Every structure is written in structure tokens, then in C-alpha cells.
Chain A
């Protein structure tokens, strides 16, 4: 093979802080032509969206995918673990040797699980403080209606029917408030997605029933204690106006 000279123009200087700093980058098709290896590459780097390793992925990594049971293998094969992606690449490109870049794959998994746990705890803290807020609001709203309860009881309502009335109202408020809150929550998720990550955050269908359940549960729980206090009061005392709290 004779030597050939080519003239190339340097269009820029790359600083990567890695091996790239010692290399020259040219268009792939041009190099394939120049070295007479049309359609060939010596190395392929793949950037894939994968999910953090779980026990199954670790088992497959330790023992090899062949050691998995049929069902485990199917789950592993169909999940976007970095190892199963590499496995499938080896299947698609015969003779290829695909290995995850562990520096990236390992650290991503470790950091992702930390961040997820942190956000879960923050969500828990937010739930606790919302429960506190909603129940104090609902409790106050129920106590304000002590005169109405007195009238109901004077007209023959049982304690239990007063409590049921309050719970039914709380349920309704929970549904309406939950719906409004979910819409506001989706807006917030969209805002966070755009501003923090620059992409839309996918909305899980499970959040809708979960949001309603939390809203209804918390409002009912918040009104229950206040409703019980109010329903136990003597109607005569409330109606005559001599009722003072505490």
C-alpha cells in the first residue's frame, strides 16, 4: 500500500481533559475512504438511557445471563439495564464485544438512587406538612359551625348523623380540592421539568387516584376530630351563646 498525502484544514482545537486531547478528529466517511475500509469502524460508543441496577441486574452481572431462570432472563432481557443493552448489541452485531463503560454506568446508578431516595423523603416531609395544614384548616372550619350543629341537634339529629354530615362534606371538599390540587400539581411538575431539566416530566397515571385518596383522606381525618368535639356539645349551651372553647 503506497503512501498518499492529504491536506486537511484544522477547524478547531478540542479540549476534553482525556485521551481525546492527543487525537485528531476527521469525518468518518473520509477516513474510511482514505484507509480503504469502507463501511467499517473499529469502535462504537453508544449513549443509552438505562435504568439503575436492581437485584436481578446484579445477579445477571455476577453469574452471567445464562444462569438466570427463563422468567428472570425475560425480565432482564426486556428491561433497559446497561448489561442487557450490551447483551442485545452483541446479538445484533455478530462478532462484536459490547461492554458497559463502568465509570458512567456505575456512578449514574449510585447517584440516581440517592437522588430518588432524597426526593422521596422530601415528598414525605411535604405530605406531613400538608396534612398538618389541611387538618388544622378543616378543624377550624368545623368548629366555626358549632351553632349550626347545636340547631341540628336541637331538631333531633344524632351525634353520629352530625359526624356523618361533616365527613360527607369533607369528602366532597376533598374531591373538589383534590381535583384542583392535581391540576395545580401537574402545572408545577411541568414548570419544574422545564426549568430544572429542560424537558417535560412524564405524568404517572397513578398520581391521579393517589392524589384524590390523599386529599379525601386528609380532609376527612382533619374534620373528624373537630366534628366529634362539636357533636358532643350540648345544643342548649351552644344556642344560648354561652359556649366558649377550652
Chain B
């Protein structure tokens, strides 16, 4: 009892009396753990964050009828059934398209019916000059190349006549520019297109934008193939492969940077602990001269180091959350997911390293003859 009480007093006095040196070591531990644990959070979340950022590429999965000869259309309820199969957190958006030929007063044009509310999610790269179309207003978007050819500008009225004689009048809300095949189409609301083309509740194709890694996407495609045999689900390779490559590069770059920072920080932590222990060689000598046992002296130093590391590990982890959220907000404008397993890892790492960094110099100092240390060599 007495001995243990004495040890507690020694440790607490050593920490309290030498405030400035202990503070330096403590700050080193806290900052080190904060940087490393914060970056670890960022590293583990980067895949998910970048996958979502990469959705600016637009759709990465396309649904088409499995046998176009027998059944050239997809049913809308099947498309929404597949949308329900994708985890809601991963589904960025999906838009069905129904295509058909209609006539304006002068030309034949290709009409595409779609859900306008999904454009900003599935095709964020479209540039619309003019207003965004609203669903109920019978409005249309005209592709830039077609608008140039027919001399259409935003605000014009278009009279559309389908093969079966159905007619509709739409107002051109905006001119769409994508640099792709969309530049030659006229887009209207899906319901309007279905009525005009007499194809209720159908679509030719549906584009899905799903935020998940390429491997998961592949397995989703495989399971869709068995569940919905009438629908052909395929990955848009241009998008999904480019994404996979970019993701791997970013991840390995971040991993490398985090590893270097981890090494640097741990080195700094160890150096600081070794320093504050080496400074107390004379104290060790004095304790030995007064009859202190080597083990007791070393134990005290190890407990001191461990206590410092433990407290620093916890505080550093808390600060690390701030580091991670700071990076998350400034880079991705979204919070970084907190991984609790990093907390025990941070504590164990900080405690163990601080104890080890105190133990080795204390052991060397304890081996020295008290007389030599005390004389000041």
C-alpha cells in the first residue's frame, strides 16, 4: 500500500512539477495523434466520398430490353422495381428515356421523353441555356446542334405531330448542350412523350447513377440479370472503368501521404519522450544513490510515459475528429464518417510508444553508476 502510494505521488509530482517539458511532450503526442487519426478517418472514407464526387460523370449503369426483337420496350414499373433494389444511400438518381420520331411544321426530329427532375442528378454536366424545364408546363429542351439547324431559340413554341396523328404544343424552355448525342434531340416530359407516341408506361432505356465502387456495381449487374431476365443491365464502361482507375490512384496517393505523415509523427513523438527522460538522468542517479531499485525507477518512468500517452491519445483522437471534419467540409462539403475502431488504436499506439520511448532511455540511465551521473558527466 505504502509503496504504491509513494509511486503515485512520484508520478504525479513528476508530471506537475516539470510543467513546461511535460507540456511540450504532451502537445507533441496530442498533435501527432490528431493528425494521424484524422487522416486515417479521411483515408477510410475517401473511397466513398470520391465515388460520390465521380457521379458528376453521370450515369454508370444502363438498362435496355434483353430481347429487343420481341419486346422493344421496358415497363416503367420494372425500372422502379430495379431502383428499389439499389440501396437508397447509393442511388444518386435514375432517368428513363422514351424515344420516337415526331414532326414539327417543317422537319422530322427525334423526341426523347424523360423525367426532368432527375437531370441534375443523372446528367449534372448538361449545360442548359435558358430556364430549366418544369414538369407540368409542357416545356421542352432542345439540343444545341438541332436548335442551330432549325433556328430555334429559348421561348419558341413547337408544334409536334406524331405518326399516329397525336399532337402537342410545347414551349422551348432552354437550349441544351452536352457535346454528345443529346445535342440533336428534343426533350419533353416522359408522360407527354408517352401520350404523343402512344406508348404509356414504357421506356426504351433507363440510365442509373449509382455511387458505389466498381466491384459492387459488377455484382449488382450480375444479380439484376438473374432477377429481371427481361432486362439487360450493363455498365457504361467509359464511365465505370475511368472511375475505377481514378479512384485507385487517388487512394494510393492518399495512403502514401498518410503513411509518411504517420512515420514522421511517430518519430517526433518518440524523440520528444526520449528527450524528456534523458534530461532526468541526474534524478535517476540520485534515486539510485538513495537506494532506489533499477526496476522501481524504470517502472516510474514507464508509468509516466504511459499516462502521458494515454491522455494524449484520447485528446488527440478528439482533435483528430476536427481535422477529419475540417478536411471533409473543405474538400467534399460533407462530413467524414467517424470510425470508432480508430479510438482504441490511437490510445494503444500513443500509450505504447510513449511508454517505450520513456523505457529505453530510463533503462540506459539506470545502468549508469549514480556517482558518475551525479558528478555531472
With most chain B CB atoms within 10 A of its CB, the pick from A101, A102, A121, A196 is A102
Separation of A119 and B255 alpha carbons in the complex (Å): 11
Residue in A114, A123, A126, A132 whose beta carbon sits within 8 Å of that of B332 in the complex = A114
**Which of A69-77, A105-113, A155-163 is near enough to bind chain B?**
A105-113
The reply to whether A196 and B249 form a contact with Cβ atoms under 8 Å apart is yes
Any chain A CB within 8 A of the CB of B309? no
Interface of A: prevailing SS: helix
Asked whether B124 is an interface residue with its Cβ less than 8 Å from the other chain, the reply is: yes
Whether B331 lies near A117 (C-beta < 8 A) is yes
Asked if A54 is at the interface of the complex by the 8 Å CB criterion, the answer is no
Residue of chain B at shortest CB distance from A147: B376
Asked whether B56 lies within 8 Å of A19 as measured between CB atoms, the reply is no
Question: When chains A and B are docked, how far (Å) is the Cα of A125 from the Cα of B271?
Answer: 19
Q: Is B179 an interface residue (CB 8 A)?
A: yes
* 15 pairs, A vs B, C-beta closer than 8 Å: A97-B148, A102-B125, A103-B123, A106-B124, A107-B125, A114-B53, A114-B332, A117-B330, A132-B31, A133-B265, A140-B272, A196-B253, A241-B376, A242-B376, A245-B279
With both chains docked as a complex, state the minimum distance between the C-beta of A219 and any C-beta of chain B, in angstroms: 14
A100-B179, A122-B39, A126-B257 as given contacts; A140 in contact with B275, CB under 8 Å: yes
Contact count band on A: 35 or more
A143 within 8 A of B: yes
A246 with B21, Cβ < 8 A, contacts A117-B330, A192-B256, A196-B253 known: yes
Interface readout for A47-61 with B: 1 if CB under 8 Å, 0 if not? 000000000000001
Known: A17-B235, A122-B254. A136 touches B268 (CB 8 A): yes
Q: Which residues of B contact A (CB under 8 A)?
A: 17-18, 20-21, 24, 28, 31-32, 35, 38-39, 46, 50, 53-54, 56-58, 62, 123-127, 144-145, 148, 177-181, 183, 234-238, 240, 246, 249-250, 252-254, 256-258, 260-261, 264-265, 267-268, 271-272, 275, 278-280, 282-283, 323, 327, 330-332, 375-376
Contact with A97, one of B56, B145, B260 (Cβ below 8 angstroms): B145
10 extra A-B contacts, CB within 8 A, seeds A97-B145, A132-B28: A16-B237, A17-B62, A17-B234, A103-B57, A103-B178, A118-B254, A118-B327, A125-B38, A139-B24, A246-B18
